[in-house]
Amino acid sequence: MKRADDFESRREHLRSMSDEELKTYFWQLAQQVVDPLLEYGRTHTTPSIERSVLLRMGFSSLEAKPMVEYAVTNNLIGHGVGNVVYRLAKSENLTIREAGIRLSQGRDWDKAAALFEGGAKHV
């Protein structure tokens, strides 16, 4: 079955646009497509994603796994475990590494929760 050719009618609203206007219009449409994906990425995470972030921060998988598990237990995973590590480090005047090791050992989660005003951010 052959598809009806409606190209001319569908492009009518674009006909009078300059190359620069077409380029601007393209990027507006692209942004409309991408915005929901970015918002979803900001509001949703998984343990796998959080472990991946911690690995990129320099932690080993053996260190990252318990940090993520403790974050889930303490309802802080929605804030991002890397963010939890970072904020604890700044608050306690520790290096990122020192803060992460403490958290992986199950220490300072009460302090971490207090940094987020005890507020759980569920995903």
For residue 122, pLDDT beyond 50: no
What would the pLDDT profile of 58-94 be if each residue is shown by its tens digit? Answer: 999 999 999 999 999 999 998 999 999 999 999 999 9
- Decide: pTM greater than 0.75: no
The residue type at 115: L
Residue 94 — φ and ψ, nearest 5°? -115, 165
Domains of the chain: 19-123 (1.10.8.1000)
